[in-house]
Structure 1
Amino acid sequence: MKQFFVTATDTDAGKTFVSCALIHAFTQHINASTNEKMKVAAFKPISAGCELVDGQLVNEDAKLLSEFANCGQSISHINPIAFEQPIAPHIAAKKQNKQITIEDINHNYQQVKSLNADITLVEGAGGWRLPLGEIIVLSHNNADKSGDNNKPTYQFLSDFVKATNLEVILIVNMKLGCLNHALLTYETITADGLNCVAWIANCASNDAMNNLSENISELEKILPIPKMAQFDFIADVDEEGKAVSYIEKISRAANKINLSVLV
């Protein structure tokens, strides 16, 4: 059994699209020990931007993950912490007088992990350092006469990844500035003591990046990990005027993934 965390250089980098493509590729892959197609579980710890459906907050990204994972998970099992407003999750939580904790995230993750899937794919939110909010740490060393020894500090979603020692897949949003963003994100992941196993070049916009091939070539030199896929933008309508479904887009992307890097 293997567990991966999908992160990206920034928000709107196509994490859900890539995660769905990875899940689809894995579910078509044969497990050598069982000679059956792999079982894949999905986990999206936190989401913000949901629709209320029959009294339940449903995040569109979590819904898509549920359509490709094959362990019979409910949407709330995949995405247990959800907020209606499409804003930073820790701000959404604060507005509701709630706190997002590493302990709660890890508890939810262990429930997903208990499915004993061949692959558990965890999709992050935002970039690597997504804030979860302030926690209060009592300082014993720097007491001052005011008596205010409580220092606010922050927890981040990356702290959960560190606590569970997940292997990391980095999505690079191919746009101006991506070289800097990719290298800084990779360096931070490794500085956190984690194994960033591969990266994916994702062209999430229909406006292709200028000098795209040159930038990908530079990233292949700069990042000391293998590139496992390059996803080009797929329009909703093909050249013949036929609609291209989301499932078809995912299938095309999945066929481009080199899973040998991961399994």
Structure 2
Amino acid sequence: MSEASPISFFITGTDTDVGKTVVSTALLKTLNSQGLKTAAYKPVSAGCLDTEQGLRNADALAMLEHCSVNLSYEEVNPIAFADPVAPHLAAHRVGQPIEFAAITRGYERLVAKQPDVIVVEGAGGWRLPLEQDAYLSSFPMLFDMPVILVVGMRLGCLNHALLTCEAIQQDGLKLAGWVANEIDPGMAYLEDNLAALTHLLPAPLLGHIPFLANTGDASGFLNQRLLVDIE
């Protein structure tokens, strides 16, 4: 399978802190268990720790740990900022513009390593600004990547999920599936909201992750049978 171009999935969310990394690492672990060669890509990150090795993002480190292709941190996360804010704001503060060409070059380096699957995790939600009039969503559009939407299950998620889905489709991309991730353990009418989203979103529910206090391994909550068909 690795002789052909890899399959790439772009993981986005209804908002920031809705569990994109939980889903990305679970997807990587599931694909690894199927014998596939996996690579991970977190093109832009913010809220990084300043270490002896350089800036390190916890989400990118988790993805690096779970991909099977041998990669350096910089190959997984080429653009990193210390401030825990929107990346374009962090970039402006340190005078380091986010170059779209650098994002695409980093992705092409991963493609050259011939993995079977590349799991790409966005930052924030779908329409994340990079610079004036430039958005991260242009990156999956450039490579026609199928999108997996992580829905943070809390009050307001119906509107957020449907608007995000509309934006993905208007950008010409396929919503390959969605994952429900419980981030509010006390959410009222959880099952009703799940039923509404299952009916309204034009893509299969790939998994329902219960509230995990330590955001641990969620691979057991993904539907492996559906994952085989989402490409």
Query: What TM bracket, shorter-length normalisation?
Result: over 0.9
Given that 2:181 and 2:210 are in contact with CA atoms closer than 8 Å, whether structure 1 keeps it comes out as: yes
Cα distance change on mapping 1:117 and 1:55 into 2, 3 Å: closer
Please tell me whether residue 121 in structure 1 is matched to residue 119 in structure 2.
yes
Residues 107, 114 of structure 1: alpha-carbon distance in 2 compared, 3 angstrom cutoff: same
For 2:228, the aligned partner's letter is: S
Aligned equivalent of 1:10 = 15
Percent identical residues: 41
Q: CA RMSD of the aligned region, Å?
A: 1.6
Greater shift, 6-15 or 111-120, is seen at 111-120
Counterparts of 1:136-147 in structure 2, within 5 Å, are none
Cα distance in 2 for partners of 1:9, 1:199 equals 10
After superposing on structure 2, the runs of 4+ consecutive aligned residues of structure 1 that deviate more than 6 Å are none
- The structural deviation recorded for 1:251 is 4.3
Instruction: Give 2:188's aligned residue.
Output: 210
CA deviation after TM superposition for structure 1 residue 261, in Å: 3.3
What whole-Å deviation, never above 9, does each CA across 1:94-146 have from its counterpart, x for those lacking one? 11112112211101111111111110000000000000012xxxxxxxxxxxx
Secondary structure, aligned partner of 2:186: coil
Deviations 1:45-77 (A, max 9, x none): 000011122141111111111111110111111
Residue equivalent to 1:227: 205
1:35-184 → structure 2 map (5 Å cutoff): 37-134=35-132, 154-184=133-163
Aligned to 2:3: none
Contact 1:229–1:257 (Cα < 8 Å) also in 2: no
For 2:225 and 2:131, locate their aligned partners in 1 and report how far apart those are by CA, in whole Å: 35
Using the size of structure 2 for normalisation, the TM-score is: 0.93
Q: Does 1:198 align with 2:177?
A: yes
Q: Distance in 2 between matches of 1:17 and 1:261?
A: 21
Contact 2:175 2:202 in 1 (8 A): no
TM-score (norm 1): 0.82
Q: How many residues align?
A: 226
Please list every run of 5 or more consecutive structure 2 residues that lacks an aligned counterpart in the other structure.
1-5
CA contact under 8 A between 2:44 and 2:77: conserved in structure 1?
yes
| Contact residue 208 and residue 222 of structure 2 kept, 8 A | no
Structure 1 unaligned runs (5+)? 30-36, 135-153, 237-244
* CA distance in 1: counterparts of 2:49 and 2:131, whole angstroms: 23
| 8 A Cα contact 2:177 2:206, kept in partner | yes
Corresponding residue SS for 1:121: strand
Query: Which protein shows a greater Rg?
Result: 1
**Structure 2 CA distance, aligned partners of 1:235 and 1:98?**
36
Whole-angstrom distance in 1 between the partners of 2:23 and 2:176 = 15
Q: What residue is the counterpart of 2:164 in the other structure? A: 185
Counterparts of 1:247-258 in structure 2, within 5 Å, are 249-254=217-222, 258=226
Distance in 1 between the 2:97 and 2:171 partners?
24
The letter of the residue matching 2:194 is I
